[in-house]
């Protein structure tokens, strides 16, 4: 019959093993992110007008810019692109700094949440842009 000391020691060892497993999993995830994104994120400076005029939101969050997108250069970001979440977070940050309407920012945040849900459900399809 194990004594209290042995039981406490086994519990500490089990907790240490759990912490080690979590740390190992976190290291694997970090390595995976670095392999997918590289170790640097390059930011291309653009004006807010370029971002607003060239941003094509998903169907449920279409912006007023979509009506005119056919007549000007525009960009479509898709969920499987590993750069899309970072681009959207950066856009949201710039939009807040520049005073873009809360409604437009909320639409982009909603799209970002949808993209993150899709990416979680489809981890094997996410990739760097071709």
Residues spanned by the domain of 33: 1-40
Same domain, 91 and 118: yes
In the chain, how many domains are there? 2
pLDDT tens digits, residue range 37-90? 554 444 454 454 555 544 444 444 445 555 555 677 777 888 999 899 999 999
As a whole-number percent, the residues of the chain with pLDDT over 90 amount to 29
What integer is the mean pLDDT of 15-40?
71
Q: What are phi and psi of 64, to 5 degrees?
A: -65, -20
pTM for the model stands at 0.49
**Residue 102 pLDDT > 90, yes or no?**
yes
Do residues 95 and 108 make contact, with C-beta atoms less than 8 angstroms apart? yes
Quote the pLDDT of residue 60.
45
Same domain, 65 and 79: yes
How many angstroms separate the CA atoms of 66 and 63, rounded?
6
**Three-class DSSP category at 55:** strand
């Amino acid at each position: 019959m194990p004594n209290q000391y042995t039981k406490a020691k086994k519990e500490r060892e089990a907790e240490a093993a759990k912490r080690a497993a979590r740390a190992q999993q976190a290291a694997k995830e970090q390595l995976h992110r670095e392999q997918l994104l590289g170790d640097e994120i390059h930011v291309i400076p653009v004006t807010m007008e370029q971002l607003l005029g060239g941003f094509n939101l998903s169907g449920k969050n279409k912006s007023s810019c979509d009506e005119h997108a056919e007549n000007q250069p525009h960009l479509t970001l898709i969920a499987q692109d590993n750069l899309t979440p970072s681009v959207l977070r950066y856009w949201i940050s710039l939009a807040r700094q520049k005073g873009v309407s809360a409604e437009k920012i909320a639409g982009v945040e909603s799209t970002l949440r949808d993209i993150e849900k899709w990416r979680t459900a489809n981890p094997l399809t996410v990739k760097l842009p071709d």
